[in-house]
Amino acid sequence: MRIKVEIDNNSGFCHGVIRAVETAEKNLSPRRNTSSERSTVAGGNKSCPDVRDTAHLYSLGAIVHNGSELERLKTKGLEVIDIEQMKSLHNTSVLIRAHGEPPETYRIAKENNISLIDCTCPVVLQLQKKIRETPGQIVIFGKMGHAEVNGLVGQAEGRTIIVENAGVIAHAEQPTNSGGIRGSRRADACSLRSQPSALNNYPPICNEIDYTKPINIFSQTTKDPGEYEHICAEIKKRMAPGVECTVHNTICRQVAGRHSKLVEFARSHNVIIFVSGKESSNGKVLYDLCKAANPRSYNIQSLKQIDKKWFKNNDTIGICGATSTPKWQLDAASKFLKISLNDYICARFYTLIYGNYRRF
């Protein structure tokens, strides 16, 4: 008795993450062999050598929101730091991940003689440029505290409004003296200030949506296109008469294209195993799509979380993941299931028939 396991060909790292990880690996290989010195930024001596450190490579924030991949890169010499730790570094190299950074980060690097290995995704760079060049009121559909969103906020000095979902707009309406409707952002649902650690070093954001003034709407590049469309519609219907609302299509095409394909993939299998890190914003969006399309969808971070009771005889199992899920992790899940699950089903079958199959 066998089961069938298939990996979704559209899952795995997006181009931006592939570029960042490959760049990190290329820079790590020579660094680990050229010097035995080690500069620390967490505990012990926080000072750095006077010459540029060639023994270490720092990543400003997690290069990818996947614990297993981070552990793999850590063994190669990559160390994740935050912005406060970066301020204490001098004469070294720091990698900027695909999510991008605000202008303040580049200023700190220049002052501290830090060489930046900039792996900001080209799609994110274009979005940053658009926001920087757009005047007036800016609404960003995105996850509060997300690295990409922090970088976008920094492009427009205090002119950005973060909206996480349509519910925030619906529950935050206040009439204005001019007869329009003003959406007041709630601190717990619509302001990055609700997460002080996320924005201590970034420019402030404004406090409310003013529907009596022109609005430009942008989206975090990895968000759900359908939800973005819904939010834009909610904002548009609240605009004062004659006031312009401009919607910018800023969701990554590669990411957006995965949504419909993933739904089809989830529906075509009995069980879905979705592999993704807990911190992955894109992972949450994609897993929710899988769960809606197939109730027998399960989100895991490691193979240890797989429960054999999820499966039945003759099941077809689909394995998929987020843009932050490495291919090797999808392959590992496939091999694990093909070996352990088939053996498990055989064990159950023979135990049922013969009552003495004791392999497991």
What amino acid positions are annotated as catalytic residues? Answer: 148
322 contacts 280 by C-beta, under 8 angstroms: yes
Q: Is 285 exposed, middle or buried (0-12, 13-18, 19+ CB in 10 A)?
A: buried
Look up tokens 């496939």; give the residue.
Answer: 334
**Would you list the DSSP string of 78-145?**
EEEE-HHHHHT--SSEEEE-TT---HHHHHHHHHTTPEEEE---HHHHHHHHHHHH--SEEEEES-TT
Angstrom distance (rounded) from CA 331 to CA 172: 45
CA 96 to chain centre: 15
Burial of 358 (0-12, 13-18, 19+ CB in 10 A): exposed
Amino acid at site 306 = I
Q: Which helix (H) or strand (E) holds 329?
A: helix 327-336
Q: Is there a contact between 124 and 81 (Cβ–Cβ < 8 Å)?
A: no
The closest of 90, 105, 88 to 44, measured between CA atoms, is: 88
| Cα angle: 198, vertex 204, 207; to 5 degrees | 105
Distance CA(138)–CA(159), nearest Å, equals 6
Dihedral sign for Cα atoms in the order 71, 75, 76, 81: positive
Looking at the DSSP bridge assignments, the partners of residue 319 are 7, 273
Q: Residue 189, class by beta-carbon neighbours within 10 Å (0-12 exposed, 13-18 middle, 19+ buried)? A: middle
